[in-house]
Structure 1
Amino acid sequence: MAAQLLKARGIRKSFPGVKALDGVQLDVVAGEVHALLGENGAGKSTLLKILAGAQPADEGAIEFEGQALSPADTPMLRQRTGIVTIYQEFNLLPALSVAENMYIGREPLRNGLIHWSRLYEDAGKVIRDLGIDLDPRDAVRSLSVAKQQMVEIAKAMTVKARLIVMDEPTAALSGREVAQLLGIIRDLRSRGLGIIYVSHKLNEVKAICDRFTVFRDGRYVTTGAVADATVNDLVRHMVGREVVGVKRRASGVLGEVVLKVEGVSRLKAVSGTSATSLSDMSVHVRAGEIVGFAGLVGAGRTEMARVIFGADPCDSGTVRVLDKQVVLRSPRDGIDAGIVLVPEDRKQQGCFLSHSIRHNMTLPNLGRLSKMRWFVDEAAETRMIEEYRRKLSIKMSSDKAAIGTLSGGNQQKVLLARCMALNPKVLIVDEPTRGIDVGAKAEVHQVLFDMAAQGVAVIVISSELPEVMAVSDRIVTFMNGAITGSTPGSEASEERLMNLMALGTRPEAELALAA
């Protein structure tokens, strides 16, 4: 029987107004990938921070390789013990090289100075041993998200990790990159490492994990073998009820063209970014229609959305709302034209994490909530917050709490509420359910359906093809900054969309029929 690495018992943690963990437990053995599952707000992230030494538990005991861990341990001490956490938001310094990030604070020295050749040699050995395609001298900021994930794993190996905690490791990866990461995880498991794998993508859990533990509302629910549970079993344990995925039903009757984009091109990337160049892109969306944008990473979906919203410039092309051309020099112009965007990275681009839920939800609407021009009507502001809290089932102890204390799903709902309150003509949501649980995902989808039913033109961008197909009336495919096709949602299949996304063509049989 494999040796036990981690044993946590009776872990409790409370924050003002919230009991985050109520006596939970978790066991991990060497050479296993252990899934930690639960809805947003179930307590997973809190336990990960306690294991990492970033927060102390109020009560409970943690043993690692048979030794009791002190609640006073710092993250550095926990790393030296052998517990390394790779968070969803990477802990890397973009301006430094891969090797410097791997050994930061532990660089090899010679005569009191960094021994650079030894640093690159040691980093290269670890990278080659993992079978990763990385140059130790490359700056981290030049790397894709997938390769940054690999740097975090390589960094963990330099501290002789025995237990690696991965929080939503594939949230921003493409299918090919996910396959590569899962291959590395299998290799780490074969070396006898323990891995805690936190993910809302249950198909990945089935593919890579050996056992699972489920939390619900801060309490321990159950532990079991992944092979003995179906995806539906895991969902029931997580939410305590059956969750039925809602598929968009075509209304059959769409309104006038609300958004018309013609000939959008951009020859150069936006200054300071690696954004994809755009080539003669045109798309339209009608009132009550949901149009999905599908494409591989770097295809230009997000860049197109940002141009439509006014967040990024373009070299040529026009944007019309209700047949009126609009000039988009900033997001303010987009909002004034009736266009709103929920960005793909809610923490970096959408939320003011240290500010209150109240301020995050109402900020763009303060002009409508003012009295005597200069003062905020706090009563009207409170009514608005309460209205959307009920509509979207936002779980919060108080609207004065920092939005950063909310789960990912509830943060996403606050951003949706912010946009809904603007009464938009066009709603663009980029990766609307990234990093949120199955229950919240169904609720977010229903919000999109309700917005379309009210006559809003909706654009949904998602890296998950099943999600795009489930919510869209029509799917526009992108590749290398160009549009490669438009497919009715009722006729879409993953094979057809992948051909358009990866090859820029329809399947051969379909081309033969069209000839």
Structure 2
Amino acid sequence: MTGTAAPLLRIRDMSKTFPGLKALDGVSLEVHPGEVVAVLGHNGSGKSTLVKILAGVHQADPGAVVEVRDATGEPVAGPAAREGLHFIHQDLGLADILTTVENLGLGATRRGRALAPVRGAAERRRAQRLIARFGAGLDVTVPVGRLSPAQRTIVAIARALDGWTRPDNVLVLDEPTAALHGDEVQVLFEAIRRVAASGAGVVFISHRLDEVLELADRVVVLRDGRVVAEQATGELDHDTMVTLIAGRRISDGATADPAATRRDAPGAPVLTVTGVSGAEISDFSLQLRAGEIVGIGGILGSGREQLAPMLFGAQHRSGGRVEVDGRELVADDTRAAIESGMAYVPADRRRRGVVMDMSVRENLTLPLMRPLRRRFGRLDGKAERAQTRSWMRTVGLRPPHPEQPLKLFSGGNQQKVVLAKWLRVRPRVLLLDEPTQGVDVGAQAAIYELVLAARRDGTGVLLCSSDTKELVSLCDRVLVLKDGRVVSEVPRAALTEERLVRDELGLQVAGGHIGTNGPE
């Protein structure tokens, strides 16, 4: 009945104006029973604003109409209308200080249970069963703030679907796969398909266009707050969607070839890691040269997520040596790492990469204030503003408002600021952890260009990513981790997505079993 039954969700003429910004401009769309509708667009196109209005976080401008209907086509009014919409937000909406058990209990409270602490073995077993539906094994009794991004996403998904028995509902997912690996994505997709097959409607927001082609029935494209295209997925391919999103045919950063952009061979070693251990990492060693991009691949739990923060001192290192330009760094000391010339772009930019309530200017200049100081420590405001404007032009920040709080920018523009603030200090070593997670294809291409430019300037780049296409696109070589150890080193000449996936999963390939005999 997709597309023919009365819509479960109908939006008409939805607009939203923030100070100095028209985030949505007359948006209209429908979601029918059994249908998965993908909403696409650049970061800043209005996708997240649309979701937040539906969730009641923001209020639409006057004139907008939002109708929620049941499976018979009858409008649902009052609190029941809001109960018919279920959300997984980009920021997940989890309470970091609470455990998985307690976060799931908050969801149960909203369904009518008494407001009381969640305790007991029964609740723990229930939480473990819910999480196990998504193929995840995690400790449900630790605060979710200590979980990896992928594990946090799975908790949010479990909470959204917990106890959902009505078919005439709409599930809205805002970038649910941003931190998930291939197998985890497929588990989520199966859950979404089951939800749609029951007669529910699904709104799916993702920057991963291949996922959209696989999952969605219909695509709605937003650009600058307006709907610019609406087509059945079967009528589209990857390149067409990129063109619709960008408004023009752009060079996809995912096809960049580092060999074509290299002018010189890598230089002297800038980062030497010897026998580093801690958390899920065991006896990791690496030599990174100036002007080289080395990738770190591996599935969830391989140790890939812990490596960059451990080298930077943001996570405990129990053993081994880390040296920058021959200078050994004290373990667990981020200040020493920064002073040595190391910079770190974390996977979770909102919680660890920037200060969201500060302006673009304040975030950009925060890591290095000394050159902006006059005599007696006074800040040279004119010089600070000039540098801010220069870096906004360099990274293509939109809108170019230096005094606007970073929290009002899209995810892609936030990530540009995180990268720019570290590139401004001209680091010797740049640690990147999932640098394009949750950004659109346009922002991705811009970030790739910035990374390649840093490489050309002589920075050594360590790129930790779950995106095999990204690793193949950017890296001179890739080290694959499994169970905390390097199981293969893939040179540029042999670097393909298929090879990386096989190495990460330990599959059989010609010549033997990957992942058992150590680095090649």
Calculate the TM-score normalised by the size of structure 2.
0.88
- Structure 2 residue 330 is the aligned partner of structure 1 residue 327: yes
Residue 161 of structure 1, CA deviation: 6.3
Residue 380 of structure 1, CA deviation: 1.1
After TM superposition, which residue ranges in structure 1, 4 or more long, deviate above 4 angstroms? 66-70, 112-117, 119-128, 130-138, 158-161
- Give, in whole Å, the separation in 2 of the partners of 1:52 and 1:310: 38
Structure 1 counterpart SS, 2:276 = strand
What is the match of residue 253 of structure 1? 265
- Give, in whole Å, the separation in 2 of the partners of 1:132 and 1:232: 31
Aligned residues: 496
What is the match of residue 500 of structure 1? 503
- Give, in whole Å, the separation in 1 of the partners of 2:9 and 2:57: 17
Q: Which of residues 205, 208, 223 in structure 2 aligns to 1:216?
A: 223
- Give, in whole Å, the separation in 1 of the partners of 2:49 and 2:413: 16
- Give, in whole Å, the separation in 2 of the partners of 1:412 and 1:330: 24
Distance 1:127 1:311, change over 3 A: closer
> Is 1:34–1:210's contact at 8 Å kept on the other side of the alignment?
yes
TM-superposition CA deviations, 1:296-336 (whole Å, max 9, x none):
11212232212221222322211222223233442111110
- Give, in whole Å, the separation in 2 of the partners of 1:389 and 1:115: 47
Letter of the 1:417 partner, please give it.
Answer: A
Letter of the 1:37 partner, please give it.
Answer: L
Structure 1 counterpart SS, 2:367 = helix
- Structure 2 residue 377 is the aligned partner of structure 1 residue 374: yes
- Give, in whole Å, the separation in 2 of the partners of 1:161 and 1:140: 34
What is the match of residue 416 of structure 2? 413
Matches within 5 A, 1:4-83: 4-59=7-62, 60-65=64-69, 78-80=81-83, 82-83=84-85
Structure 2 counterpart SS, 1:103 = helix
TM-superposition CA deviations, 1:409-445 (whole Å, max 9, x none):
1000101110011111111111010000001101100
Residue 136 of structure 1, CA deviation: 13
Residue 158 of structure 1, CA deviation: 6.3
Residue 476 of structure 1, CA deviation: 1.0
What is the match of residue 103 of structure 1? 108
Q: Which of residues 145, 155, 167 in structure 1 aligns to 2:152?
A: 145
Letter of the 2:237 partner, please give it.
Answer: T
> Is 1:429–1:459's contact at 8 Å kept on the other side of the alignment?
yes
> Is 1:254–1:286's contact at 8 Å kept on the other side of the alignment?
yes
Distance 1:254 1:123, change over 3 A: closer
What is the match of residue 273 of structure 1? none
- Structure 2 residue 212 is the aligned partner of structure 1 residue 205: yes
> Is 1:428–1:460's contact at 8 Å kept on the other side of the alignment?
yes
Distance 1:161 1:264, change over 3 A: farther
Matches within 5 A, 1:176-325: 176-246=183-253, 247-250=256-259, 251=262, 253-266=265-278, 269=279, 276=280, 278-325=281-328
- Give, in whole Å, the separation in 2 of the partners of 1:136 and 1:20: 38
Structure 2 counterpart SS, 1:279 = strand
Distance 1:443 1:123, change over 3 A: same
What is the match of residue 92 of structure 2? 90
Distance 1:224 1:315, change over 3 A: same
Distance 1:300 1:120, change over 3 A: closer
Residue 116 of structure 1, CA deviation: 8.3
Residue 485 of structure 1, CA deviation: 1.9
Structure 1 counterpart SS, 2:258 = coil
> Is 1:257–1:322's contact at 8 Å kept on the other side of the alignment?
yes
Q: What percent identity do the matched residue pairs reach? A: 34
> Is 2:317–2:331's contact at 8 Å kept on the other side of the alignment?
no
Distance 1:469 1:151, change over 3 A: same
Letter of the 1:486 partner, please give it.
Answer: E
Distance 1:485 1:160, change over 3 A: same
- Give, in whole Å, the separation in 2 of the partners of 1:373 and 1:489: 51
Matches within 5 A, 1:348-363: 348-363=351-366
Residue 402 of structure 1, CA deviation: 0.8
Structure 2 counterpart SS, 1:4 = coil
Residue 121 of structure 1, CA deviation: 12
TM-superposition CA deviations, 1:469-507 (whole Å, max 9, x none):
00001111111111112111231122322333222x883
Calculate the TM-score normalised by the size of structure 1.
0.88
Structure 2 counterpart SS, 1:334 = helix
> Is 1:11–1:57's contact at 8 Å kept on the other side of the alignment?
yes
Letter of the 1:254 partner, please give it.
Answer: P
Letter of the 2:65 partner, please give it.
Answer: A
What is the root-mean-square deviation in Å for CA atoms of aligned residues? Answer: 3.1
Structure 2 counterpart SS, 1:27 = strand
- Structure 2 residue 384 is the aligned partner of structure 1 residue 389: no
- Give, in whole Å, the separation in 2 of the partners of 1:126 and 1:26: 36
Letter of the 1:8 partner, please give it.
Answer: I
Residue 133 of structure 1, CA deviation: 6.5
Structure 2 counterpart SS, 1:404 = helix
Distance 1:249 1:131, change over 3 A: closer
Letter of the 2:267 partner, please give it.
Answer: G
Gap regions ≥5 residues in structure 1: 270-275
- Give, in whole Å, the separation in 2 of the partners of 1:116 and 1:312: 30
- Give, in whole Å, the separation in 1 of the partners of 2:347 and 2:172: 24
Structure 2 counterpart SS, 1:181 = helix
